[in-house]
């Protein structure tokens, strides 16, 4: 229990009244009697608040599963507990998780209408929280500041009202931000056919100039009295492995989120496309801890991927793409399309040169690097002096060495992709569909 501002002003008024007691015996008597009365009132007000006032009961309603960046309603219900009188005033402070924030930072505490609790009524307080981080969260409780009848004192009642849940990436927002249906229609992925090279028999058709002779179905040819060839559909049960760097390379902040967050969103969207078209998807995360999810197939497997990724965060820690690839090829038991998402630099050329031939021998590799906006801006700016010229030259040299690294890898048969964080999802899906349509898998 602590004093309220009303008690301070009452004491201050009594103090100024005492100044007049030096000039008049009558004022001295008034000052003494008023001080005695104030003391009695303050004491009775404190006893009433401590002994006779109801501490109330609280209940919180909030969804246990939230979407990142999507406003979520919170409902707090306050009821009398039946063990005392209704307090004269009520202020509430809900200890929401640090990973969430209300639209207004000055929302708490909120003064409530205590009169609504009379006749066993209830107070319903509703507000909105916006999750700003993925992962698990927990409410800290509800604090009620109860006022005494004369407003001299306030008592803080702490209610342990549990509330736990998880914040997932807003997949509807990720999916809704892309022209996915139009993208798939333009690529013609559903009608990919590799004549004579697939594993699934598609049907028979008339021979066309350029068809391999080994695809001719001689029995059907004899029946129809014209050349007939077998047509095959490309095997669609292919395996995709997403390797995502959660170390310092993708810890750079761009807007409200890190590059790692953009990589997670792109990985989820690509997984949705791959699973929808019959491929199985595996996941590996390295840098800020190692995580591995074995291959899953079917659109229903997307929930397993989301549950694996929802609480992962990047950190300014060292990461090793070499070790990630080494562990990946040891775990994979069939040919796979490995997509390695990081931020590659000139020094990676030497460190990865030892393992790229091993990967290429059995798998198809795509290295994805996110652009560094700061370096690109420095390389484009007009120098204002000698020092600016040196900075511009250094930035240009850094970006040039990156491009040369990508050309070296492409010469070795490794696919490369460089993209901004904002454009990563469509760029990655386009490259995946292009490679899938080409039959390289």
Mean pLDDT of the 329-335 span: 90
Same domain, 250 and 358: yes
Residue found under tokens 């109860």: 146
Same domain, 223 and 256: no
pLDDT of residue 229: 86
Q: How confident is the model at residue 187 (pLDDT cuts 50, 70, 90)?
A: very low
Domain assignment present for residue 226? The answer is: yes
Q: How many domains does the chain have?
A: 3
For all residues of the chain together, what is the average pLDDT?
Answer: 84
Mean pLDDT of the 175-187 span: 51
**Residue 86: CB partners within 8 Å, gap ≥ 6?**
53, 54, 80, 114, 117, 118
Same domain, 264 and 392: yes
> CB-hemisphere CA count at 13 Å for 109?
13
pLDDT of residue 114: 85
Same domain, 79 and 179: no
Same domain, 163 and 74: yes
Lowest average pLDDT, out of 27-31, 134-138, 365-369, goes to 27-31
Q: Give the chain as a 3 state SS string.
A: CEECHHHHHHHHHHHHHHHHHHCCHHHHHHHHHHHHHHHHHHHHHHHHHHHHECCCEEEEECCCEEECCCCEEEEEEEECCCCCECCCEEEEEECCCCCEECCCCCCCCEEECHHHHCCCCCEEEEEEEEECCCEEEECCCEEEEEECCCCCEEEEEEECCCCEEEEECCHHHHHHCCCHHHHHHHHCHHHCCCCCCCCEEEEEEECCCCCCHHHECHHHHHHHCCCEEEEEECCCCCEEEEEEECCHHHCCEECCEEHHHHHHHHHHHHHHHHHHCCCEEEEEEECCCCEEEEEEECHHHHHHHHHHHCCCCCCCCCCCHHHHHHHHHHHCCCCCEEEEEECCCCCHHHHHCCCHHHHHHHCEEEEEEECCHHHHHHHHCCCCCHHHHHHHHHHHHHHHHHHHHHHHHHHCCCEEEEECCCCHHHHHHHHHHHHHHHCCC
Q: Is the pLDDT of residue 191 over 50?
A: no
Domain assignment present for residue 24? The answer is: no
pLDDT of residue 255: 78
Q: How confident is the model at residue 188 (pLDDT cuts 50, 70, 90)?
A: very low
Domain assignment present for residue 255? The answer is: yes
Q: How confident is the model at residue 389 (pLDDT cuts 50, 70, 90)?
A: confident
Lowest average pLDDT, out of 16-20, 240-244, 336-340, 407-411, goes to 16-20
Residue pLDDT, tens place only, 39-94: 888 888 888 888 878 889 899 999 999 988 889 999 999 988 878 888 888 999 99
Same domain, 414 and 269: yes
Mean pLDDT of the 371-389 span: 78
Same domain, 373 and 319: yes
Strand partners, 245: 286
Asked if 138 contacts 164 with a C-beta cutoff of 8 angstroms, the reply is yes
d(CA 243, CA 309) in angstroms, rounded, equals 12
Same domain, 184 and 202: no
Stated pTM of the model: 0.73
Alpha-carbon Rg for the chain, nearest whole angstrom, is 34
pLDDT of residue 193: 40
Greatest alpha-carbon span in the chain: 134
More confident residue, 387 or 290: 290
Same domain, 354 and 391: yes
Same domain, 90 and 215: no
Write out the residue range of the structural domain in which residue 202 sits.
194-233
CATH number at residue 277: 3.40.50.410
Domain assignment present for residue 356? The answer is: yes
Q: How confident is the model at residue 178 (pLDDT cuts 50, 70, 90)?
A: low
Domain assignment present for residue 158? The answer is: yes
The candidate with the shortest Cα–Cα distance to 308, out of 319, 292, 321, 295, is: 292
Pairing of strands 65-67, 164-168: parallel
Same domain, 293 and 359: yes
Show the tokens assigned to 213. Answer: 């002779």
Same domain, 240 and 99: no
Domain assignment present for residue 42? The answer is: no
Domain assignment present for residue 10? The answer is: no
Neighbours of 1 (CB within 10 A): 12
CATH number at residue 87: 2.60.40.740
Domain assignment present for residue 112? The answer is: yes
């Amino acid at each position: 229990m602590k004093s309220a501002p009303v008690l301070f002003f009452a004491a201050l008024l009594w103090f100024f009244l005492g100044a007049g007691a030096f000039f008049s015996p009558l004022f001295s008597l008034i000052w003494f009697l008023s001080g005695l009365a104030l003391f009695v009132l303050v004491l009775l007000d404190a006893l009433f608040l401590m002994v006779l006032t109801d501490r109330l009961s609280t209940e919180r309603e909030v969804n246990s599963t939230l979407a990142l960046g999507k406003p979520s309603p919170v409902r707090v219900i306050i009821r009398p507990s039946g063990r005392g009188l209704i307090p004269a005033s009520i202020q509430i402070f809900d200890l929401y998780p640090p990973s969430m924030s209300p639209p207004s930072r000055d929302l708490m505490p909120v003064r409530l209408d205590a009169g609504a609790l009379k006749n066993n009524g209830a107070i319903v307080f509703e507000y909105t929280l916006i999750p700003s981080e993925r992962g698990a969260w927990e409410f800290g409780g509800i604090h009620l500041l109860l006022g005494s009848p004369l407003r001299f004192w306030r008592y803080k009642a702490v209610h342990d009202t549990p509330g736990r849940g998880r914040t997932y990436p807003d997949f509807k927002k990720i999916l809704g931000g892309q022209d996915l249906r139009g993208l798939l229609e333009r690529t013609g992925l559903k009608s990919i056919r590799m004549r004579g090279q697939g594993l699934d028999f598609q049907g028979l058709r008339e021979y066309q100039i350029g068809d391999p002779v080994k695809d001719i179905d001689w029995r059907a040819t004899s029946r129809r009295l014209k050349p007939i060839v077998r047509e095959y559909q490309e095997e669609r049960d292919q395996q995709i492995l997403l390797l995502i760097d959660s170390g310092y390379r993708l810890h750079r902040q761009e807007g409200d989120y890190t590059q790692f967050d953009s990589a997670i969103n792109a990985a989820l969207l690509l997984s949705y496309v791959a699973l929808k078209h019959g491929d199985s998807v595996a996941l590996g995360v390295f840098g800020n801890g190692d995580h591995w999810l074995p291959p899953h197939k079917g659109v229903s497997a997307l929930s397993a991927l989301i549950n694996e990724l929802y609480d992962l965060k990047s950190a300014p820690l060292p990461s090793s793409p070499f070790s990630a690839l080494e562990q990946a090829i040891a775990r994979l038991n069939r040919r796979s399309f490995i997509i390695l998402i990081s931020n590659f630099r000139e020094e990676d050329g030497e460190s990865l040169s030892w393992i790229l031939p091993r990967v290429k021998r059995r798998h198809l590799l795509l290295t994805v690097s996110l652009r560094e906006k700061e370096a690109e801006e420095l390389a484009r700016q007009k120098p204002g002096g000698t020092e600016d010229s040196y900075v511009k030259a250094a930035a240009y040299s850094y970006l040039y060495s990156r491009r040369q690294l990508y050309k070296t890898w492409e010469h070795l048969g490794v696919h490369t992709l460089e993209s901004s964080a904002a454009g990563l999802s469509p760029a990655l899906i386009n490259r995946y569909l292009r490679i899938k349509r080409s039959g390289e898998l």
